[in-house]
Amino acid sequence: MPFSRPTLTDLIAQAQQDIIAGQITDQTTGNILQGLLAQANLLDVATSEAGLVYLLYAYLDWISIQSVPYTATDEFLEAWAALKAILRKDAAPATATFNIASGATNGSPLASGTTITRSDGFAYVTTATVTVSGGALSAPITAVTAGSAGTLTAGTQLTIASPVSGIPSTGTATPVTSGTDQETDDALRTRMLLAYAAPPQGGDRADYVQWALAVAGVTRAWVAPNGNGAGTVVIYTMFDDSESAYNGFPQGTNGVSQYDAGPGGSPRDTVASGDLLTVADALVVKQPVTALAYSVAPLNDPISFSIGNLGSFNTAANQALITAALQDMFLRLGNVGGTTDPTTGEAWPAIDPSDWYAAISSVTGIGRFTVTSPTSPITPGAGYLPTLSLPPTFSS
């Protein structure tokens, strides 16, 4: 049974009763006080004592929260996670290429460390010296400040902060790798609890999932043993936050790590790119040396929803809330077809009609509704991840 922490009002009342029970004598009359006068100093004493005790209860409550991995926060959560070699993922800077298509003077250099700015003043720096050729240049840049705030949309106009001789001041960004924020407590706790539930086994399903989730930007991961044939492992990942502009799907091409070399030193298969290469390169230093791991983006399986019989509840505000509830359901319950639960090895359950009815019913103010489509459980095909097709169809 959980401990019932007394309220401040309860503690004040208890302190007053303790004072009365102490049978304090009136020094003038000699009578025993049966109550406390409204203006008595002892009332202040009781309130002060209760306030101090209330703070002690709060401290003990905080200690109990930090004393177990399941509820710990901040540096205490990091300490519990470190016992399982799980470390909080740091923020990562966005990267891109600064492009000038024409108008530059051949042979003009753009030095490494040159500051490039966005229209809002956010700064980037070039990470290599590039010389103009054919009137154009393409220089790699990285955000000065790590985090998602530095993420650029392909085609964003950028400006060289200080003019460079022979080079136009403005250009565009492409391609782009999104920046990621520091891992939240909730995300770190999820990875930590998975590590406690599934200790390392030298390369089993759970190990691959944990290794992938440790990569900056990765929010969900699935594994398909022998997914590309005997001796292979296929790892599917999602970047729900850093690649939100693409509905969380990783950008780049599927493949293996550039460091997974075979005889002769060449990669054993097509090398991944973009987000998928980041995952592949992180896995190659942890996976068993004989395994061939493929970093793969799930295929999108958009599911159309038709929701009717809303009556007067069919408002724009309720439609937005229902859409958000269904998106959350897919985020929580969606899994890539052909993968298995890493802790049990069993196939993932389908998303059942009861799941979406529960999600919609959780929206405050919805009195009635009917989901006319879909009507059957959602089971994705191999390699596909079910998502909500936007916008859903609503009717009164």
DSSP 116-172: EE-TT--EEEESS-EE-BTTBEEEEEEESS-SGGG---TT-EEEESS-BTTB-SEEE
Mean pLDDT of the chain: 90
pLDDT score at 99: 94
* Residue-level pLDDT at 343: 80
Average pLDDT of the segment spanning 79-94: 92
φ/ψ of 98, rounded to 5, equals: -90, 120
| Secondary structure, 3-state, 246-257 | HCCCCCCCCEEC
pTM of the model: 0.72
Residue 39 has pLDDT above 90, yes or no: no
Share of the chain above pLDDT 70, in %: 94
Closest CA to 297 of 318, 319, 276, 326: 276
- What is the rounded CA–CA span in Å between residue 216 and residue 232? 24
The pLDDT of residue 68 is 92
Whole-number pLDDT of residue 25: 65
pLDDT in tens, 345-364: 888 999 999 999 999 999 98
Q: Which helix (H) or strand (E) holds 303?
A: strand 299-303
Quick check: 3 pLDDT over 90?
A: no
- Beta partners for residue 1, in sequence order: none
Structure confidence at residue 15 (pLDDT):
85
Q: Where are the domains of the chain?
A: 8-67, 95-177, 198-297, 301-394
pLDDT at 71: 93
CB 92 within 8 A of CB 217: yes
Long-range contacts of 38-47 (CB under 8 A, 24+ apart): 42/16, 43/16, 45/15, 45/19, 46/12, 46/15, 46/16, 46/18, 46/19, 47/12, 47/15
Whether 19 has a pLDDT exceeding 70, the answer reads yes
Please give the average per-residue pLDDT across 118-127, as a whole number. Answer: 95
Q: What is the Cα–Cα distance from 274 to 291, expressed in whole angstroms?
A: 22
- Model confidence band, residue 96 (pLDDT cutoffs 50, 70, 90): very high
pLDDT tops 70 at residue 24:
no
Token duo for residue 232:
């292979």
Q: Find the mean pLDDT for residues 290-295.
A: 93
Name the least confident of 11-20, 85-94, 150-159, 334-343. Answer: 11-20
Say what the pLDDT of residue 34 is.
Answer: 54
Quick check: 210 pLDDT over 90? Answer: yes
**Maximum pairwise Cα distance, the chain:** 106
Res 231 pLDDT > 80: yes
List the one residue out of 261, 256, 214 whose CA is nearest residue 234: 256
Determine the pLDDT at residue 35.
56
pLDDT bucket at 12, cuts 50 / 70 / 90: confident
Is a pLDDT exceeding 60 seen at residue 38?
Answer: no
Q: Which of 13-22, 87-96, 266-275, 325-334 has the lowest mean pLDDT?
A: 13-22
**Residue predicted with more confidence, 33 or 194:** 194
Query: Could you tell me the pLDDT band of residue 1, with boundaries at 50, 70 and 90?
Result: low
What pLDDT, on the 0 to 100 scale, is given for residue 44? 73
Closest CA to 238 of 336, 151, 146: 336
pLDDT > 90? residue 266:
no
Whether the per-residue pLDDT at 51 is higher than 80: the answer is: yes
Would you place residue 31 in the very low, low, confident or very high pLDDT band (cuts 50, 70, 90)?
A: low
